[in-house]
Structure 1
């Protein structure tokens, strides 16, 4: 029983470890490996809660560890990525010294969301505002789109510091916005009750298959837009 008690916390710390490795890779401009380790950290983040419920060892310590680990993997890492992108987009002739550091607005907004999530009893089965792991995937996909896309338009967009700043502010807003996002959990196997989830899943697969890395931020945006549509038109 003693070993079972610590398994979820060990998994949480491995999530933190993945975030630390991702930071190192970003410092080396290896965005692909950073993306992979963040994905692994998010995967572990899901399973720490799963095993805590399975072994019935959920605890206040586990909750705090989870948020602290997420703060690195899904808070510091995307902020550092945006810092790096803004550095790359900065004017080489007369660079703005402050500009790149504005990328860490994402980190601060992530910190606020994680702290608020811990005390918000409304977010049990679904989310209000974009979860930090989803936001991290959104931000970390941007340098991959920039690197692997053949589109000159996409390159020009993601190399523009004003657009990057707009993405930063949008990210900070959507993390903490009072926008209910539909649950991705499928509780039964009836199409009617899971139509929104299934449509989202199908469209997500199509976006990822045909657009590759560009599909990742579009999937996150699709999730938000479908949630807004659901709140306005489908919910009774």
Structure 2
């Protein structure tokens, strides 16, 4: 199941897709799998599993701390692939969000083959630009994996065309410059950036960075194909105990309602 398939299925229901980010290995490996299952049960269409990395330049404090905890617990690329296999069994499309160095260290072709074998949909690579992604793009094409690249408010029209042409699944539209994290208000201009990204040739545009509640999800869903939420879900999960899983499920359900309201 590709991310594009899941997004298209949501759009066929006249709504945006809900894309939920969780850190693989947080609070531990089994706990991260259970958290992803809860998110799917409560309305997430696509799951992003973050591969913990020691130098996460785009990640805000919440995601960084969850990744540090996962690394300290011994979560590495092999364990993330095991988590992908278990979460993919839910029927959700499962993307790995990762900086490129762990993929390179593991072996690009080997990573693509193992991710496909695990039932993964593909990769989101925040620090990899299409011009430097030749090996990954070739390996992803060989195994039918999504290639999700990012655009930002400062992206030129030429950059948007390059990213749209190189991406498969969707283009990740970062609605503001800077790192991820919960925001009290959404950045202005997200709708314009999505429109520019579509005009550049993107089949699907999903928006992230800052969405944390039902009202924000509805606002973004009015113009985007998918709404990406991460830090707010990890905050809700807390320590991953029963109360945390309940809070995660409740927030996911609230966000799922929001993406349905956005096109109403």
State the TM-score, normalized to the length of structure 2.
Answer: 0.27
Instruction: Name the one with the larger strand percent.
Output: 2
Greater length-normalized contact order (CA 8 Å, ≥ 6 residues apart) = 2
Larger radius of gyration: 1
State the TM-score, normalized to the length of structure 1.
Answer: 0.29
